[in-house]
Amino acid sequence: MFYVTLGTGVGGGYVLEGRIQPFGDLGEAEIGHIVVDEHGPECCCGNKGCVEAHCSGPGLAKLAAALARSSYGSWKSSALFSDNGPTGLSSVQVIEAWEGGDDFAAEVMRVSANRLARALGATINLLVPERVVIGGGLGTATPRLLELIRDQTHGYVVPYFRDSYQILPSRLRESVVTQGAAILARQTVE
Ligand SMILES: [Zn+2]
């Protein structure tokens, strides 16, 4: 199983044969810092276009601002923009507008899900997990996001692996962090 959290940042965890795989003392599976679009927004790690810069809460807001700047003319009628043009948008505003049928918000969400899908496709091709679980405040904000991620990821997975995995929502929601930490600690003691 490969776990991805979409929240303040984007992080990953890999479970093999029932055990969380500790990759080392420096950190875990850093799917958030795979570069998926070299022309994308700047990331806090110093690179440009990481998954985290498109798919975390702050990343989604940055992506919305970048898309608004580059193609504002096409989206003038979006409810997200005041008469003065694009203003600072939050990820919550973008998702609410998407749920309300806003076309600009739909484009932001499509691009965001697509950038995550590029990294998920590579992860599935590399590790062949049976399940990819999506969690975090943003990742579980709406079932529509999961649908979008599923649709976008499909094309990035090699055809013979496409029926081998499921993309599912995290059932533990926010408590996945403390549960995972406790399991890691127990594994270490054992
Ligand atoms: Zn990064």
pLDDT digits (tens, 9 = 90+) for 90-139: 899 999 999 999 999 999 999 999 999 999 999 999 999 999 999 999 99
* Residue 119 CA to ligand 1 centre (angstroms): 13
Return the pLDDT at 74: 75
Return the pLDDT at 188: 87
- Please say whether the beta carbons of 56 and 8 come within 8 A: yes
Whether the per-residue pLDDT at 25 is higher than 70: the answer is: yes
What is the residue-wise DSSP string for 82-99?
BTTB-----HHHHHHHHH
Q: What mean pLDDT, rounded, does the chain reach?
A: 91
Return the pLDDT at 54: 96
* Residue 52 CA to ligand 1 centre (angstroms): 6
Residue spans per domain, the chain: 2-189
* Residue 185 CA to ligand 1 centre (angstroms): 27
* Residue 42 CA to ligand 1 centre (angstroms): 8
* Residue 158 CA to ligand 1 centre (angstroms): 25
Instruction: Kindly report, residue by residue over 50-72, the tens digit of the pLDDT.
Output: 999 999 999 999 898 888 888 76
CA-to-CA separations, 189 to 14, 16, 21, 39, 182, in angstroms, rounded = 19, 18, 14, 44, 11
CATH 3.30.420.40, applies to 2-189? yes
* Residue 100 CA to ligand 1 centre (angstroms): 31
174 pLDDT band (50/70/90 cuts)?
Answer: confident
82 pLDDT band (50/70/90 cuts)?
Answer: low
Mean pLDDT of 163-168: 97
* Residue 9 CA to ligand 1 centre (angstroms): 10
* Residue 49 CA to ligand 1 centre (angstroms): 7
* Residue 35 CA to ligand 1 centre (angstroms): 7
Could you tell me which residue, 23 or 1, shows the higher pLDDT? 1
* Residue 163 CA to ligand 1 centre (angstroms): 30
Cα 152 to Cα 171: distance, rounded to the nearest angstrom:
22
* Residue 93 CA to ligand 1 centre (angstroms): 24
Return the pLDDT at 167: 98
